[in-house]
């Protein structure tokens, strides 16, 4: 039984880590950009950001003043038992979000869409979002918090099979160029592309592709992996760098996730996870001990399964 | 790589000092700034409330920002990181705002169009400084020496309130518009634009169009 106090304690620590510490994979990717960037303004921006990460860690203050929209991804092992059940789990995540808003501090970004009511704690109707997934043969739960900016750099479009790969490239370029000018997308970014699913699923997959996969990871489908590489290169050949200045630093990496969609369509979304790519993750073991890491490992073989029944991969079953 | 020209600006800024600034220059600020964004503009201008305090108390540099800040139990403030929010959304209030506030430095994210600079900034001898990144929230947080006051906290909430901040070597920022109304971002856009067509070569527009859609990649979304 995983105690609810360990859930809340871990969640609070994750909130601070996400806000303050840039993940190593993003940092390594940005350093590569710094090595190759030839635009002097874009290079200056990247250098300032690298200094900013150090200042954030030294001072234990948030790396960006817009601390985004905190949200949670929860993966629950099939054998996991949580004290108080899912209602207690959700309450703990809402408490951790509210407490971290005061303690870190974070910016209380969440308001009512019409009345602009601000509870000053990033909690409200539907906030923070909590998304769930499951994992077979496990008694742990995994918590990931993502604090993504909320205004620019994402878009959705219903494409059709006849639009093809060219259509995908066009919409990808449209999004990067439109939001790249003046650096509205806060690039260089981890670009996530959601392909397929229903309209809302397409948005969810793209967001998860940008926020829950680490720089350097590739989709297990080799053709999709090749498209990820191609789109990354395409984005970096626009001629645009950080803040929309001349340069080559647009895309730290590109991740594509797919879901089966209507036979007549090919919905697509594009999401850009910014210079403050805030994510932090921990597995909480059955005895309540947390194991912190920065790779959410959200997309598993189980998550991407195509068949009706789940069958364990042969290698795992043989163990 | 060329080192960028860097200046240190004392606030409130003299027009003569602003005249020397060229777009693309790195700037650090010392003196007094205050935050104001849509909530403040709406209240001050549309609702007719005017400014929450005298010009001396607020300073003449308006930061489009809400800090990651907390009001402590003893009434003191903790300011962590500060980063700008995108400024183009506030262009609609600017004419009234310059009259009311007397500001001559606007700090934010991403600038506004040169059309807005020429129409509203130039007659008021004002420049625009953009934050870098975005955003260097922790570096900017270090430059804040004191919270000199907070106004309209109850009326507008933490994020939209007016935070008056005394700063020292606060930055970095880039000069986005000069006193003539030139825009650094638009200069860069114009240099990048000629290379865009070849990226799309051989592809055709999406099957399903959208109202108002343009295929002119030199246009902006702001």
| Residue A235 clears pLDDT 60, i.e. is over it | yes
Name the minimum distance, in Å, from the CA of B185 to any CA of chain A.
Answer: 6
CB contact under 8 A, B195 and A239: yes
| Inter-chain residue contact A51 with B136, CB threshold 8 Å | yes
In a domain, B201, yes or no: no
| 3 state DSSP class of A75 | strand
Number of domains in chain A: 2
Q: Kindly report the number of other CB atoms within 10 A of residue A309's CB atom.
A: 5
Q: Are B187 and B156 in contact (CB under 8 A)?
A: no
| B78 CB within 8 Å of a chain A CB | yes
Tell whether A159 and A204 lie within a shared domain: yes
| Gap from A279 CA to chain B (nearest CA, Å) | 17
- pLDDT tens readout for residues A194-205: 999 999 999 999
Q: Are residues A128 and A76 in the same domain?
A: yes
The residue-averaged pLDDT of A291-297 equals 96
Say yes or no: A130 and A264 in one domain: no
Q: Is residue B206 part of a domain?
A: no
CATH (domain of B90): 3.20.130.10
Q: Does residue A13 sit in the same domain as residue A126?
A: yes
C-alpha dihedral, A300 to A302 to A306 to A307, nearest 10°: 160
**Chain B: residue whose CA lies nearest to A247:** B192
In a domain, B12, yes or no: yes
- Tens-digit pLDDT profile for residues B137-183: 999 999 999 999 999 999 998 889 999 999 999 999 999 999 999 99
- Domain encompassing residue A303: 4-17+62-149+279-318
Domain count, chain B: 1
pLDDT tier for residue A37 given thresholds of 50, 70 and 90 = very high
Q: Chain-wide mean pLDDT for chain B? A: 95
Rounded alpha-carbon distances, angstroms, from residue A216 to A294, A296, B148: 13, 14, 46
In this complex, is the C-beta atom of B111 within 8 Å of any C-beta atom belonging to chain A? yes
> In the prediction, which pLDDT does B2 show?
74
B200 falls within a domain: no
Q: Tokens 């909130």 label which residue?
A: A15
Over residues A314-319, the mean pLDDT reads: 54
In a domain, A28, yes or no: no
Same structural domain, A187 and A161: yes
Which of A107, A168, A234, A251 best tests the B interface by mutation, with the highest count of B CBs <10 A? A107
Neighbours of A54 (CB within 10 A): 13
| Residue B69 confidence class, pLDDT cut points 50, 70, 90 | confident
B101-141: pLDDT as tens digits: 999 999 999 999 999 999 999 999 999 999 999 889 999 99
Q: What residues of chain B, 160 to 179, have a C-beta less than 8 Å from chain A?
A: 160, 172, 174
A residues 112-171 closer than 8 Å to B (CB): 116, 118, 120, 151-152, 157-160, 162-163, 166-167, 169-171
Tell me whether residue B143 is in a domain. yes
Of A116-120, A170-174, A282-286, B27-31, give the lowest mean pLDDT range: A116-120
Is B67 within a domain? yes
Identify the closest residue of chain B to A183 by CA–CA distance: B110
Residues A8 and A87 in one domain: yes
Q: Give domain status of residue B155, yes or no.
A: yes
Q: What angle in degrees, to the nearest 10, is found between the helix axes of A85-103 and A4-20?
A: 40
A111 and A177 inside one domain? no
User: Could you say which of A66, A105, A238 has the minimum Cβ distance to residue B69?
Assistant: A105
Strand, coil or helix: B187? helix
Domain range enclosing B53:
6-193
pLDDT of residue A150: 79
Asked if A181 lies within 8 A of B141 by C-beta distance, the reply is: no
CB A118 within 8 A of CB B158: yes
- Residue A74: its pLDDT value, please? 98
pLDDT tens sequence across A114-125: 999 999 999 999
Q: Which 3 state secondary structure label does DSSP give A285?
A: coil
Please tell me the distance from the alpha carbon of residue B101 to that of residue B96, in angstroms, as a whole number.
9
**Cross-chain CB nearest to A104 (options B80, B135, B217):** B80
Question: Are A59 and B138 inside 8 Å of each other by CB?
Answer: yes
Give yes or no: residues A183 and A74 share one domain. no
A12 lies in a domain? yes
Residue window 120-159, chain B: list those with CB within 8 Å of chain A. 130, 132-142, 157-159
Q: How distant is the Cα of A68 from the closest Cα of chain B, in angstroms? A: 10
Using CB atoms, which residue from B83, B205, B217 is nearest to A177?
B217
Say if A30 falls within a structural domain: no
Q: pLDDT tens, A239-282?
A: 999 999 999 999 999 999 999 999 999 999 999 999 999 999 99
Domain co-membership, A196 together with A269: yes
Interchain CB distance below 8 Å, A62 and B24: no
Q: ipTM score of the complex?
A: 0.92
pLDDT (0 to 100) of residue B159: 85
Size of interface A-B (CB pairs under 8 A): 197
Among A238, A254, A273, the domain boundary falls at: A273
For residues A158 and B67, which has the higher predicted lDDT (pLDDT)?
A158
Are residue A133 and residue A173 in the same domain, yes or no? no
Element (H, E) at A144: strand A141-148
Strand B61-63 and strand B69-71: the pairing is unpaired
Q: In terms of Cα–Cα distance, which of A303, A304, A300, A302 is closest to A312?
A: A302
Regarding whether A139 and A119 lie in a shared domain, the answer is: yes
Q: Shortest CB distance from A65 goes to which of B140, B191, B192?
A: B140
**Which residues 173-192 in chain A show a CB within 8 A of chain B?**
173, 177-179, 181-184, 186
Together in a domain, A176 and A210? yes
Check if the beta carbon of residue B57 is closer than 8 Å to that of residue B164: yes
């Amino acid at each position: 039984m995983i105690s609810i106090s360990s859930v809340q304690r871990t969640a609070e620590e994750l909130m601070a880590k996400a806000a303050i510490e840039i993940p190593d994979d993003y940092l390594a990717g940005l350093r590569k950009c710094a090595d190759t960037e030839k635009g002097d303004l874009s290079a200056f921006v990247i250098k300032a950001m690298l200094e900013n990460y150090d200042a954030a860690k030294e001072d234990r203050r948030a790396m960006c003043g817009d601390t985004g929209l905190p949200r949670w991804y929860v993966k629950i092992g099939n054998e996991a038992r949580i004290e108080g059940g899912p209602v207690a789990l959700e309450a703990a995540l809402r408490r951790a979000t509210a407490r971290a808003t005061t303690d870190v501090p974070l910016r209380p970004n969440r308001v009512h869409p019409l009345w602009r009511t601000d509870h000053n704690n990033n909690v409200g109707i539907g906030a923070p979002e909590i998304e769930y997934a499951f994992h077979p043969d496990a008694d742990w739960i995994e918590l990931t918090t993502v604090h993504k900016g909320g205004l620019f750099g994402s878009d959705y479009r219903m494409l059709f099979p006849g639009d093809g790969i060219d259509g995908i490239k066009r919409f990808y370029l449209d999004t990067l160029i439109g939001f790249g000018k003046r650096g509205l997308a806060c690039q260089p970014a981890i670009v996530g592309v959601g392909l397929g699913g229903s309209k809302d699923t397409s948005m969810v997959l793209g967001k998860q592709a940008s926020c829950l996969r680490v720089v350097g990871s590739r989709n297990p489908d080799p053709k999709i992996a090749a498209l990820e590489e191609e789109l990354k290169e395409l984005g970096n050949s626009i001629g645009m760098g950080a803040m929309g200045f001349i340069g080559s630093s647009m895309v730290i990496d590109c991740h594509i996730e797919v879901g089966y969609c209507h036979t007549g369509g090919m919905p697509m979304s594009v999401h850009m996870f910014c210079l403050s790519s805030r994510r932090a993750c921990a597995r909480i073991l059955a005895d309540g001990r947390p194991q912190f890491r920065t790779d959410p490992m959200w997309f598993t073989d189980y998550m991407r399964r195509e068949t009706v029944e789940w069958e364990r991969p042969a290698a795992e079953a043989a163990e | 790589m060329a080192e960028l020209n860097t200046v240190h600006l004392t606030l409130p800024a003299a027009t003569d000092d602003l005249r020397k600034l060229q777009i693309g220059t790195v700037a650090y600020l010392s003196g007094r700034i205050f935050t104001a964004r849509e909530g403040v503009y709406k209240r001050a201008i549309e609702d007719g409330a005017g400014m929450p305090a005298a010009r001396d108390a607020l300073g003449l540099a308006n930061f489009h920002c809400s800090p990651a800040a907390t009001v402590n139990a003893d009434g003191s403030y903790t300011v962590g990181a500060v980063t700008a929010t995108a400024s183009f959304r506030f262009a609609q209030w600017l004419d009234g705002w310059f009259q009311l506030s007397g500001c001559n430095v606007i700090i934010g994210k991403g600038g506004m169009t040169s059309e807005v600079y020429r129409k509203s900034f130039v007659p008021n001898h004002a420049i625009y400084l953009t934050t870098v990144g975005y955003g260097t929230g922790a570096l900017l947080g270090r430059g804040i020496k004191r919270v000199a006051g907070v106004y309209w906290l109850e009326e507008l909430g933490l994020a939209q309130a007016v935070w008056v901040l005394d700063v020292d070597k606060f930055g970095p920022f880039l000069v986005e518009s000069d006193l003539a109304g030139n825009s650094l971002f638009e200069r860069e856009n114009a240099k990048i634009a000629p290379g865009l067509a070849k990226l799309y070569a051989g592809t055709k527009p999406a099957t399903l169009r959208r109202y108002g859609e343009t295929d002119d990649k030199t246009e902006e979304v702001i």
